Structure 1
């Protein structure tokens, strides 16, 4: 069985730990029956997620070989771990014959990942706002207006989520919290309605980007480059990838980004938001 899962970008600036969006960049996960699961596979996040599903339902976990192909890079803030988890749960759900609904799979995925901001759009597609309260997940999916084009900037270095989380302060001023709450609400509406001016005006974060940008030495120069072309730039998830959003294709923006002098090497991918989540192919 092969399961295809899209990349996801969480936060979108002020939507820290509660927003995520699915992108047309994919990994394919092939689950193959095996006589015995080898040591490397047993220690993979994919197999551990399959095992989690089977144990939760008092079933015997099958022996497997798992192959992964695709374009989602590891440790770049593009939901690679979410893709591993979601693909494995979709396989386990189908292979076991339980056929649980996607809300149940989201619950399992969140239990494994710890938060729903990447696993939700990986599973459902679209732009999703979500939060976890005790053991219940509240979420809402919206369609992203077709006008938006995303230029994804992927560097040649990794950034572990643990290090990015440690950079964020545990306490913040009340004014910063209010700023993020209001701006996150407006960004959600801007993406849904296609209001780029609203998106651009709301694109300021005070909770994590001012601290995480110190781990991405080209952040400031690339943000200025995007701004000069009238675009919006966010750190993708925990970083280090950066997501630049524009209202339509922009050869000018692409040229500016390509010609910006940086300390690290950056790959640029032109992508679009998608409404479809993970699927068996």
Structure 2
């Protein structure tokens, strides 16, 4: 095998996981994309970042995308690039749009993008590493599949693991459904949000959540009138309120007015579903002061490589 001598380009969507009751299981790709390029150099490592994270992300081999490029190369039997001991270098450019530490899957996007870039840098890499294997590697790196699955495949995905094996099953989304995400200025790290969750929950809450998650799948597939009931959660959102009180207050306010609003992923972003342009515009008008709102479509493409 050999590495290509051209630039590989990748774009990958933002994602929203959980969607209310689907804790660590449901994920949706959204029409907000990071765009990255990579090429092999004779030696060294160049990391250029613009947009989100330009002032904070590392520029060395600890960069998550660089690590995932090399994980893909390892999987394909190639030596790493861009490391001090590497025989070949790497130039990586990242044009980031997905907010960091806001519950929109920025780390999952980086993982999927890095693996796709690494696969693309190998001649015939797309024949040697299937999309399903790329997803499995991404889930192993991330530790759970709910965000990496829609980032890889696009659309609405039900994901999980059975023993050491991960699975992802795509499910349809009614074409009338879109979303508005409300992004606050203050981040919340996923590990902080997870640290607030209890070790056990009442059986009645777990049963109620299972029913609502099933209802949400049906609502997204073609019965959007059930989105409000289908997004009710008992397992995680309220436990996380101490880390994001403004987010939970916004969720409650929007739901009281009939909007299917949830905490996106581990938060603090709030996502609300819309089924018409009028409804989406009305949601945007509800953006709290100091927050930024983005009206988004469901992304059906997942990671795209050229």
Establish whether TM, by shorter chain, passes 0.5: yes
For 1:203 and 1:118, locate their aligned partners in 2 and report how far apart those are by CA, in whole Å.
Answer: 17
Quote how far apart the aligned CAs of 1:54 are.
2.0
Instruction: Choose which of 125, 130, 150 in structure 1 pairs with 2:154.
Output: 125
Deviations 1:138-196 (A, max 9, x none): 22102211211211000101111110110111111111111111111110111011x22
For 1:113 and 1:221, locate their aligned partners in 2 and report how far apart those are by CA, in whole Å.
Answer: 29
Structure 2 match to 1:45:
64
Equivalent residue of 1:218, what SS?
helix
Structure 2 match to 1:8:
15
For 1:270 and 1:57, locate their aligned partners in 2 and report how far apart those are by CA, in whole Å.
Answer: 39
TM-score (norm 1): 0.93
Structure 2 match to 1:227:
255
Deviations 1:217-264 (A, max 9, x none): 212431243235421111100011110112212233332x13x5x6xx
Instruction: Say whether 1:36 aligns with 2:64.
Output: no
Equivalent residue of 1:18, what SS?
strand
RMSD: 1.6
Structure 2 match to 1:58:
77
Equivalent residue of 1:165, what SS?
helix
CA contact (8 A) 1:41 1:65 kept: no
For 2:195 and 2:249, locate their aligned partners in 1 and report how far apart those are by CA, in whole Å.
Answer: 24
Structure 1 match to 2:107:
81
For 1:220 and 1:77, locate their aligned partners in 2 and report how far apart those are by CA, in whole Å.
Answer: 14
Structure 2 match to 1:69:
95
CA contact (8 A) 1:2 1:28 kept: yes
Distance 1:253 1:229, change over 3 A: farther
For 1:113 and 1:13, locate their aligned partners in 2 and report how far apart those are by CA, in whole Å.
Answer: 20
TM-score (norm 2): 0.85
